[in-house]
Amino acid sequence: VGPYVLVTPNETRRKQLQRSKLNFAKKELDDLEQWRKEHRPGLITLVPQRLGGRDSEAQARQNQQMMLMQSKYQQKRKREEYVKAKKAAEEAEILKKKAIQREKAQRLEVKKRQQEMQRREMFLEDQSYKTNELLNRLDMGLPKSESCQIANPGPESTAWTRSRAYKQALREDENKIVEEMKQEQRRKAELMEFKQKQEEEARTRAHQNEQRSFYCTLRVNNAFLDRLQKKTQPNNSYQPGHTG
């Protein structure tokens, strides 16, 4: 660190500088205020003129009343549309839930039918097995001469013929039962499709009726507004000397 010199401040000069700064700021503020006074805008003078357009006061009030009625009608229509949309959404949700429940019921019914068919097949198989076992026992209990004739090449034995005929009858019964179940499922599917078409047609007719009633109401309201305007128009003719 090198040597340095400490200079003591001059209090008198400091006060003079501060005083000069304050005087300069005050002078600027005074000049600004003086400029504002000199450039203050004067009074606004307008040429008198007739306002309100070409319509009279009564016609303006009538137009205002008509606009108010139309706004009320529009608000009412918006509320009705909101209620209809909400109702349609609720109906769609209900139909969706019904479809889900119907699908569950159909799956449960199909499952029950499959279980019933399996039990029936097991029963028929067991019955066929018992029948074959009985026929085999009968074949073993035949006389020797007849058993020899069966062993020799020639026509089939009576017991074997009965067994084959019984098996064929069982197979035909099973095929018949399966075919009947398929036909029943086909009829139920056609009936369900017919019901869905009827529901869709009913919804379409209801929507068309709602649209028809809405347009009828709109025409009636427009006709009422037209009659009101025609009735009030002759009494509210324009008068040149009238001030709005």
Q: Exposure string (b/e) for 60-87, b if CB count within 10 Å is 16 or more?
A: eebeeeeeeeeeeeeeeeeeeeeeeeee
Q: What is the pLDDT of residue 2?
A: 74
* Cβ count within 10 A of residue 159: 19
Q: What is the pLDDT of residue 82?
A: 92
Q: What is the pLDDT of residue 162?
A: 66
Q: Mean pLDDT per segment of 10 residues, for the chain of length 244 residues?
A: 78 90 93 91 78 74 87 89 91 90 89 86 81 74 48 52 71 80 82 84 83 79 75 54 42
Encode pLDDT of 158-175 as tens digits. 656 766 777 777 778 777
What's the whole-model pTM score? 0.30
d(CA 63, CA 143): 119
Show the CA angle centred on residue 10, arms to residues 8 and 11, nearest 5°: 120
d(CA 118, CA 41): 105
Q: Are 212 and 56 in contact (CB under 8 A)?
A: no
d(CA 111, CA 167): 27
Domains in the chain: boundaries: 9-40
Q: What is the pLDDT of residue 240?
A: 45
Which own/partner contact pairs does 199-202 have at CB distance under 8 Å and 24+ positions apart?
199/95
